[in-house]
Amino acid sequence: MRVFNFAAGPATLPLPVLEQARAEMTDWQGSGMSVMEISHRSAAFVAVAEQAERDLRELLGIPQNYKVLFLQGGATGQFTAIPLNLTAPGATVDYLNTGVWSKKALTEAKRYCTVEVVADEAASHYTTVPAPGSWQVSAEAAYVHYTPNETIGGVEFDYVPDTGTVPLVADMSSTILSRPIDVSRFGVIYAGAQKNIGPSGLVLVIVREDLLGRSRANTPPIWDYAVMAQEGSMLNTPPTFGIYIAGLIFQWLKREGGLAAIGERNHRKASLLYDYIDASGYYKSPVSRNARSWMNVPFNIADPSLEKTFCSEALAAGLANLEGHRSVGGMRASIYNAMPLQGVEALVAFMRDFQQRHG
């Protein structure tokens, strides 16, 4: 029996996608082979990768002057790849620090650039986002990097920063495809797959063409955006099964009505949960109202000694992986695209019941 899985990533996937993968596991499209056993250079697999890119372009409305890359090494690999691709030695780059993942990204960039932390939400213990106008792009910045959604803190920007002509770089790992965005506002968007795209081991990069060809001499070829754009992401063997699953998920998203419909549903799911938390007088969200993530919802009980009981009783009720990140404790419900409204309703019903019994 399937459970409602609130893990932060790797995370729940749409059941119809898993069912299709299961049905084709030993004989994909009548080939007599699994899709895992097909050459990445075969016409059949190239068609899979091209269809995935077309569907993603349609879903996100990606303009023609952007390249779509399917790479390896996760968002953590991109922490290295971003400065190598976009700057020359001696460059200054701007980072907004809003939590654990911003911090990791800027720490890695320091190995290659002078990093200006132009906004830092330490004072609020990373429960806020910097207000527009409260921070400025450095005069010399080669790019501005931010993390639109912090998976651990559950902090999400409610605006896209205006950086003028300076390229805006965004780690969208835990928010991509959760609602429509205007891709033309960004220089580079990257996202680890294991939340809203597919299985782990795949990272998506969307890069504006005029930013290609600036890479440093010591950029690893498999992360060099110009090289990988030229090679259709196949300089070497790509993670074929991951691309196949991502493609199935993009098709599922289209069947669900695209990002406008998905965004509306996600907003409803998040509102249901936050409204209940706020009204409960028992649970608490640590995050400022304007910075609350649609995807990752951390919450606490006044009595932290009950948190372990909460999670184990929830699991027994078919609500899995509600433990907060080990660095912050508490609870966290990740409610990505594949989490149905019924899952959030079941969670709220459980929280209400738990409060009645323990509150």
* Interface contacts to a second copy, rule CB under 8 A: 1-3, 5, 7-13, 15, 18-19, 21-22, 25-27, 31-34, 36-42, 72-77, 80, 108, 111-112, 192, 194, 199-202, 217-218, 220-222, 235-242, 245, 318, 320-321, 326
DSSP structural state of residue 66: E
Strand-pair category, 141-146 with 319-320: unpaired
Q: What is the H or E stretch that residue 145 is in?
A: strand 141-146
Alpha helices in the chain (DSSP H): 15-23, 43-60, 74-86, 100-109, 225-230, 240-255, 258-280, 307-316, 341-358
Q: Which is nearer to a second copy, 66 or 336 (CB)?
A: 336
CB of 294 to a second copy, least distance (A): 20
Q: Which is nearer to a second copy, 163 or 321 (CB)?
A: 321
Q: Which is nearer to a second copy, 201 or 340 (CB)?
A: 201
Give, to the nearest 10 degrees, the angle between helix 100-109 and helix 74-86: 40
CB of 202 to a second copy, least distance (A): 7
CB of 18 to a second copy, least distance (A): 5
Q: What torsion, rounded to 10 degrees, do the Cα atoms 125, 131, 133, 137 define?
A: 50
Instruction: At 6, list the tokens.
Output: 């609130």
Q: Which is nearer to a second copy, 174 or 285 (CB)?
A: 174
**Catalytic hit among 28, 55, 103, 195:** 195
Closest CA to 343 of 253, 266, 283, 261: 266
Q: Which is nearer to a second copy, 41 or 357 (CB)?
A: 41
**Catalytic hit among 28, 55, 67, 101:** 101
Distance (Å, whole) CA 302 – CA 154: 19
Q: How many CA atoms lie within 13 A of 207 on its CB side?
A: 28
CB of 46 to a second copy, least distance (A): 13
Closest CA to 145 of 154, 153, 157: 157
Q: Which is nearer to a second copy, 18 or 306 (CB)?
A: 18
* 252 labelled catalytic: no
* 101 labelled catalytic: yes
Distance (Å, whole) CA 118 – CA 120: 7
CB of 110 to a second copy, least distance (A): 12
* 210 labelled catalytic: no
Instruction: At 293, list the tokens.
Output: 């993530």
Q: Which is nearer to a second copy, 218 or 356 (CB)?
A: 218
Counting every residue written for the chain, the total comes to 359
CB of 133 to a second copy, least distance (A): 34
CB of 112 to a second copy, least distance (A): 8
Burial of 296 (0-12, 13-18, 19+ CB in 10 A): buried
**Catalytic hit among 171, 252, 269, 294:** 171
Query: At residue 300, what is the residue type?
Result: N
Catalytic residue set? 101, 171, 195
